[in-house]
Amino acid sequence: MKLKEKLKNLPPFVRSDQIKVPATFLLASMVIFTVLTFVANWMIGIALLFILLLILWLLNYSSDYLVEETNRYISDLSYRIKKGEQEALIQMPIGILLFNQEKEIQWTNPYLLKYFEKKDILGRKIKDVDEELYQWMEKYETNEITKVVWGERTFEMIIQENIGVLYLMDITQYANIEVKYENERVVFGNIIIDNYDEAVQSMNDRKRSNVNNYITNQLTNWANINNIYLKRVEDDRFIALLTKKTLERLEKSKFEIVDQIRERTYKQNFPLTLSMGFSYTMSPTQVKWKDIAQLAQANVDLALARGGDQVVVRAENEDARFYGGKVNPMEKRTRIRARMISQALEELIVNADKVFVMGHTYPDMDVLGSSLGIRRIVQMNNKEAWVVMDMEQLSNDMLRMMEVVDKDSNISRHIIDPEHAQEMITSDSLIILVDVHRPSMLPAPELMKVSNKVVIIDHHRRGQEFPENPVLVYIEPYASSASELITELFEYQSNDVDTINKIEATTMLAGIIVDTRNFSLRTGSRTFDAASYLQSNGADTILIQKSLKEDLETFLTRSHLLETMEFVTPGMAVVRGEDDRKYDTVVAAQTADTMLSMEGVEASFVVTKRNDGRIGISARSLGQINVQTIMEKLGGGGHLSNAATQIENCSVTEATEKLMRVLKNEEESMEGERK
């Protein structure tokens, strides 16, 4: 019985079959061997029997020792484990907080306690002890590692809601290293003097040298103050190297140097403006200087395409951030680029099997005029061009003008809908976009999936959305309209046997008149040159006035909209339509134009429901307020003084509230700049 109890007290691994079976076999073998030895020689048998008894005694003694030592070891190990757990909870550099369902603190280890201002926290609600910590607990899901900033420290937080435990690991040191790395990341910049050649071409050497010294000194002082490496590589170009922290500081100040250069040079009678492009890599391990430099160049090109006098900041896989662009772009004095574009366009047309011309959806007079102008240029090069237009999207004034166009069958038969264009286009076709460069605003964007040969002729400031790898880009924000740009191309066509006819000249002049509000906005000397050329080719101003006449219903609708006008901020007025009523886009645009003629209105915004169900916002300004950047914040774009956007899945009231928030933020930003 005693032996059985001893066996039970042995550790389980000793009583396992892996030990018992070999031991039993060995003992049985010794007993059998001893019996056989007695038969052969009793004296040897007695000796073996003595050895067997000695082995059994040793096994009995060893079992007692094994049980005692095993129990002592297990007891000591259990004590050490429990002691280690207790010490770990108290001493480990991880904050632990126990709470109940009412979010009351039940226990916290000393490590976490030192982060609380008050030490008597047991039994109190977390919200009452520390509001910030409570907000983090409410915000994030359980069982997920989350980085939070609590006070002046950075932690990794894990919440186990089911057992009521909060863990906080202080990673401030590592977070500071990460911030330092981010701050010291290298940024590459391109800086261009937009109109340097035009500004100095009439100056003598002495004055030109003074201008160069002035610009160099201004930029060098700016670079020294902000710890920027600046190098002048050409008369009108600089490169800059700086850190991400410096870039953030410059963004916070909205690149004041751009405004300072413009204002100071204007006062000294040689107005100059700057365009800048900055880029940096988002990858912490793969820094490709070539890619960063190319992106910086693309950014400054984007700034120039938007009219210059602004800064574009963009890293790889990031949306661009725009600063500046507060004044209308200066008109260029040279026609060299127009000649080069005309010759390049001619070559592209000759090498294409067909040409398709598209403007933006809900086309206006400028789309119609510029489309027919391009169609004529294509015909002059012995090719056929098809104008893609959705006839269901035409406004009343466009329908009246189309009645005139339909009288010329040679023109009207080349105006097709998107479905026919899809059937006709081939991979060798050329697509020309006029008065638009955003694919999402095209009546048939699917055409660009068939042919990637895309030409862009536009006068709107370039936005971030842009066709991939166009073969020719002619974007001139200084121009009044796309019709003006295309009118200039006629002068440089090598084949002028089929000159522009009366209807085409009339529609193109109508495009210029509408976009300039009868030559009152965005009008330069080249605008009048283009209008003069069209007039000499038979443009009928009387016909234009008849087409642009509005009916009584349109007049009353505009008057009804104006009754809702309110000033959101000084100089910024907003008009809104009803949620359950659809308004023509032309009526909205005309209402915005009319508002500018009223006293106290510097910028006008008209929010209406469009015929396609989306909410449209038409924005206009007299030039002091940049409505383009305002519309870009709502997903749109346009010009400094003429812009718009369309918002889906939204009511007029909701869109108006969004607009008002943007306008108030814009006013606060302008107030900050004035201070």
8 A C-beta contact, residue 481 and residue 427 = no
Give the pLDDT of residue 110. 78
- Residue 615, classed as helix, strand or coil, is strand
Give the pLDDT of residue 333. 43
In this structure, is the dihedral angle defined by the CA atoms of residues 341, 344, 347 and 349, taken in order, positive or negative?
negative
Q: Of 98, 282, 84, 288, give the one whose Cα is nearest residue 181.
A: 282
Q: Of 561, 628, 626, 548, give the one whose Cα is nearest residue 595.
A: 561
* Helical spans, DSSP H, in 502-632: 502-516, 525-536, 541-548, 552-562, 585-596, 627-632
**Topology (CATH level 3) of domain 192-324:** Alpha-Beta Plaits (3.30.70)
Instruction: List the domain boundaries for the chain.
Output: 2-90, 92-176, 192-324, 338-548, 552-674
Cα distances (Å, whole numbers) of residue 271 to 262, 521, 626: 6, 21, 20
3-state helix, strand, coil in the chain (%, to 5): 50, 20, 30
Task: Please list the rounded mean pLDDT of every run of 10 residues in the chain (675 residues).
Answer: 55 62 74 76 77 75 67 64 62 78 83 77 83 80 78 84 85 82 86 84 84 91 94 92 92 90 84 90 70 89 80 84 69 66 89 93 91 93 92 85 90 93 93 92 91 90 81 86 91 73 92 87 85 90 84 84 90 91 85 89 92 88 84 82 87 91 82 59
Give the pLDDT of residue 670. 67
Give the pLDDT of residue 1. 43
Cα distances (Å, whole numbers) of residue 378 to 98, 375, 414, 448: 78, 5, 12, 19
- Whole-angstrom distance, CA of residue 598 vs CA of residue 558: 14
Give the pLDDT of residue 604. 93
- Whole-angstrom distance, CA of residue 251 vs CA of residue 301: 19
- Residue 512, classed as helix, strand or coil, is helix
Cα distances (Å, whole numbers) of residue 83 to 74, 88, 90, 317: 14, 8, 11, 52
Cα distance between the two ends of the chain: 100
What DSSP element (H or E) covers 198?
helix 196-200
8 A C-beta contact, residue 375 and residue 357 = yes
Give the pLDDT of residue 405. 92
What architecture is the 92-176 domain classified under in CATH?
A: 2-Layer Sandwich (3.30)
552-674: CATH class: alpha beta
- CATH entry 3.30.590.10 includes domain 338-548: no
- Whole-angstrom distance, CA of residue 388 vs CA of residue 659: 33
Give the pLDDT of residue 12. 61
- Residue 65, classed as helix, strand or coil, is helix
Give the pLDDT of residue 95. 82
